Amino acid sequence: MKPTCLLVKRAYSYSGENRIGFLSYRGRGCGVAKNFKRQFPRYKDLAPLLKFKLPSLPSRERRLSKALTIWDLRALAKKRTPKGPFDYTDGAAESEVTLERARRAFLDLEFRPNILHDVKGVSLECTVLGEKFAMPVGMAPTGFTRMMHSEGENAVARAAAKFGIPYALSTLGTTTIEDVVSAAPDGINWFQLYMWKDRDASMQLVERAKKSGVKNLILTVDVPVAGARYRDTRNGLTVPPSLTVKTLIDAIPKPEWWINFLTTPAISFVSMKNWNGTVAELLDFMFDPTMTFEDLKWIRSQWDNQLTVKGIQTIEDAKKAAECGADAIILSNHGGRQLDRAPVPLHLLIDVKKELKKELEIHLDTGIMHGADILAAIALGADFTYIGRAYLYGLMAGGQEGVERALTILGTEMLRTMKLLGVNSLEELEPKHVRLLPTHAGLGTLPGVK
């Protein structure tokens, strides 16, 4: 008896018209002619495929090697860090839409590559404020860094020095500028200043930075009052973290963080004595709401090295900062942690560059989670960029090695993107390589955000 095969046809509707679609073959002997011959697996064929490994204990190196993106590091950080410190890093002000918009701005753009270019000699080197760096990105100042991981600021400074980029210590640091410089003597260490109500105390910090060899003072100007960071308020975050029933329960799945916390020197705000209130209360106590451009001029007169003004969010203020003698400005909304629904730095960049041309250097931060984000900013006119959360996710995931992993990820992404764009140097990047798409172009949920 010969095999039988039934061709089943089904009618379906397409654009209002009837079509005939071949659905399947059914019956004995159905199918196309055999194009292969079955055989029992042979050991000589299987042997090269057998890649069994002996079980090994979890290790920091192994854990970090599996992180392919900054978002992967964020996921690791969330698993290994108590809720309070993680949310302090990860969160933003009020609705947190400012941070989301800044990140999405880098997704809502289109790269335009040039093909058939020799790109075997790609370099990420750049010269910023008279210094040569290996990549166009620096480590932004972040407060309370030892709260994220006990290795803290020293780990970040050492990683930055290893990768040939600058590290900026925050006024709200948990390590002194002297100790940071001692930990990374070959690095480029900058200092970020919040102007306190106590001006003499502020300038004492500046003097200490100068004696330590700091050549770039970063003055943050967008903090007349602390932003409303609801995650911190709900968590009752204090520095150092308080031991409560809630935090102890949270500690159970994160033993390494707590062991480090309890067996290393106390986390303290090194620029003043420990504060007994919440972080939000501390910031409101310190920040000076009376600061004006006249104060900026005064600081310029007191500081004879490079001066960078951080927190510029309008063209008008960018021009005023230039008139006050700033050597560089940082277009920044403080990582989305101050004014809710603040301007997106990337969107502001083109107009500021057009207005100021080469009067001073234009730097940018907020929202950078990929090496291509950095290149987009450079192409659109930025001279330099900064990361904050990106390296803190690495720090929380694995100390100094985690920070180095973050920089390796970003560097690899930059090199690959430059080759795909057909450019060999940052100088070759131009606005023609990037087109900004309509805001919120429907790219879906940001990676890693639920």
Same domain, 127 and 218: yes
Q: Are residues 239 and 341 in the same domain?
A: yes
Per-residue tens of pLDDT for the chain, all 450 residues? 454 454 444 444 444 444 444 444 455 555 555 788 888 888 888 888 888 777 777 788 999 999 999 999 999 999 999 999 999 999 999 999 999 999 999 999 999 999 999 999 999 999 999 999 999 999 999 999 999 999 999 999 999 999 999 999 999 999 999 999 999 999 999 999 999 888 888 899 999 999 999 999 999 999 998 899 999 888 888 777 776 778 778 878 898 998 998 899 988 776 665 556 666 677 777 788 999 999 999 999 999 999 999 999 999 999 999 999 999 999 999 999 999 999 999 999 999 999 998 889 999 999 999 999 999 999 999 999 999 999 999 999 999 999 999 999 999 999 999 999 999 999 999 999 999 998 665 454 566 655
Kindly state the DSSP code that residue 115 receives in the 8-state scheme: P
User: Catalytic: which of 149, 334, 363, 370?
Assistant: 334
The angle at the Cα of 336, spanning 330 to 338, to the nearest 5 degrees, equals 90
In a domain, 447, yes or no: no
**Is the same domain home to 238 and 116?**
yes
Query: Do residues 350 and 432 share a domain?
Result: yes
- Domain assignment present for residue 410? The answer is yes
Same domain, 30 and 76: no
Any domain includes 444: no
In a domain, 388, yes or no: yes
Q: What is the pLDDT of residue 278?
A: 65
Are residues 158 and 290 both part of a single domain?
A: yes
Asked if residue 211 and residue 337 are part of one domain, the reply reads yes
Joined together, the tokens standing for residue 255 give 């033993």
Take residue 83 and report the two structure tokens written for it. 């809720």
Tell whether 413 is covered by a domain: yes
Question: How many residues are recorded in the chain?
Answer: 450
Closest CA to 128 of 350, 311, 383: 383
Residues 72, 30 within the same domain: no
**Which of 222, 252, 240 is closest to 321 using CA atoms?**
222
Report the number of distinct structural domains present in the chain. Answer: 2
- For residue 13, the enclosing domain spans 7-37
Q: Are residues 26 and 98 in the same domain?
A: no
| H or E stretch covering 235 | helix 230-235
- In three-state secondary structure terms, 304 is coil
Judge whether 48 lies within some domain. no
Q: Per the domain annotation, does 1 fall within a domain?
A: no
Q: Based on the domain organization, do 22 and 90 belong to the same domain?
A: no
Domain match, 158 and 227 both: yes
pLDDT at 447: 66
Domain-located, residue 51:
no
Extract the tokens encoding 174. Answer: 């948990």
Predicted pLDDT at 446: 64
* CATH code (residue 140): 3.20.20.70
Map residue 32 onto helix, strand or coil.
coil
Q: Is 347 among the residues known to form the active site?
A: no
Same domain, 22 and 75: no
